[in-house]
Amino acid sequence: MKKLAIFGAGGHGAVIAEILESQNLSFEILIDDNPKNKILNGITAISRAEFLNLANAKDFGILLAIGDNLMRQNLYHFFVKQGFCLPFVAHRRAIISKSAKIASGSVVMPNTVINARASIGMGAIINSGSIIEHDCRIGDFSHIAPSATLCGNVQVGDCTHIGAGSVIIEGKSIGQHCLIGAGSVVISDIPPHKKVVGNPAKKELR
């Protein structure tokens, strides 16, 4: 089994460290682009350059603890080009259907539900307490924030953020690079590159 490194020494990094603990796993290296004075679980952060100098790609898997979708996307492709694998990890208290599919680099946090035939793209974050119902499709590098509920057959494009506590009703489609504000209720399709909030979600954010 490969050794594990976490990229990102902030809050997401702490959550991923606990996800690993829930699966009786641990990480050996903490990476951060601003590593000064950053420590997690007794491990002092090092820079990306330091990591690349000391680590062999065949020996390490990297877990991305970065909340920003575009930054996470860029990091994912950077490390893939360097030959590293980016496994997906899920907390022991997540409920994941055996027919669901989760791509590399994704993180599934505690108390989530991912139901039958759902599909999660690369580098996605399925945050604590969120519900991804049957036949949903979550695009690459999207973030489903805590306690969001996606009813059956919802389609979410790449690099989209679904805000905390939002509800997306069955069969709706949300385009790529969208932002759905916290607590919104989506009852109609949302085109790509839109920022909306409300109940129903239609007021555009600036």
**Residue 110 burial class via C-beta count within 10 angstroms: exposed 0-12, middle 13-18, buried 19 and up:** middle
Q: What string of DSSP letters covers 35-64? A: -TT-EETTEE-B-HHHHHHH--TTTEEEEE
Give the residue numbers marked as catalytic.
134
Cβ atoms of 169 and 152 within 8 Å: the answer is: no
Cβ atoms of 203 and 183 within 8 Å: the answer is: no
143 annotated ligand binder: yes
10 annotated ligand binder: no
State CA 116 to chain mean position distance: 19
SS3 call for 73? helix
**Residue 87 burial class via C-beta count within 10 angstroms: exposed 0-12, middle 13-18, buried 19 and up:** middle
CA neighbor of 110 nearest in space, from 123, 88, 131, 91: 91
Could you list the residues known to form a binding site, using ranges: 67, 143
Could you list the residues known to form a binding site for substrate, using ranges: 67
Could you list the residues known to form a binding site for acetyl-CoA, using ranges: 143
